[in-house]
Amino acid sequence: MFIGDVVGTPGLKMVDLWLKSFIKKHDVDFVVCNGENAHHGKGMSLEALNQLVAAGVNVVTGGNHTWSNFNFFDTLKTHPQVLRPLNYPKGTYGKGYGIYKLPNGLGDIAVVNLQGRTFMYSIDCPFRTADWVIKQIREQNKDSVKFIFVDFHAEATAEKIALGWYLDGRVSAVIGTHTHVQTADERILPKGTGYCSDAGMTGPHNSVIGMQIKSATDRMLYQTPHKYECAEDDVHFAAVLLSLDHSTGKTVGIERIFYPEYDRGVV
Q: Which residues are catalytic?
A: 65
Task: Candidates 18-26, 46-54, 101-109, 178-186: pick the segment binding Fe ion (CB under 5 A).
Answer: 178-186
Stretch 64-103 residues interacting with Fe ion (CB under 5 A): 64
**Distant-in-sequence, close-in-space partners of 231: CB < 8 Å, separation ≥ 6:** 8, 10, 203, 204, 206, 207, 208, 210, 211, 212, 213
Residue 249 three-state SS: coil
Q: How far is the first Cα of the chain from the last one, in angstroms, to the nearest whole number? A: 31
**Distant-in-sequence, close-in-space partners of 243: CB < 8 Å, separation ≥ 6:** 251, 252, 253, 254
For residue 61, give the nearest of 174, 164, 158 by alpha carbon. Answer: 174
Binding residues: 5, 36-37, 64, 153, 178, 180
* Residue in 37, 69, 113, 129 binding Fe ion, rule: CB under 5 A: 37
Residue 249 sits in the site that holds a copy of itself (CB under 8 A): no
| Residue 37 interacts with, from a copy of itself, Fe ion, none (CB under 5-8 Å by kind) | Fe ion
Residue 17 sits in the site that holds a copy of itself (CB under 8 A): no
Residue 209 sits in the site that holds a copy of itself (CB under 8 A): yes
* Residue in 118, 136, 140, 248 binding a copy of itself, rule: CB under 8 A: 118
For residue 5, give the nearest of 41, 29, 55, 30 by alpha carbon. Answer: 41
Binding residues for Fe cation: 5, 36-37, 64, 153, 178, 180
**Distant-in-sequence, close-in-space partners of 25: CB < 8 Å, separation ≥ 6:** none
Work out how close the CB of 21 gets to Fe ion at its nearest, in angstroms, rounded to a whole number.
Answer: 25
Task: Candidates 3-11, 132-140, 144-152, 181-189: pick the segment binding a copy of itself (CB under 8 A).
Answer: 181-189
Parallel/antiparallel/unpaired status of strands 108-115 and 145-153: parallel
Binding site for Fe ion (CB under 5 A): 5, 36-37, 63-64, 178
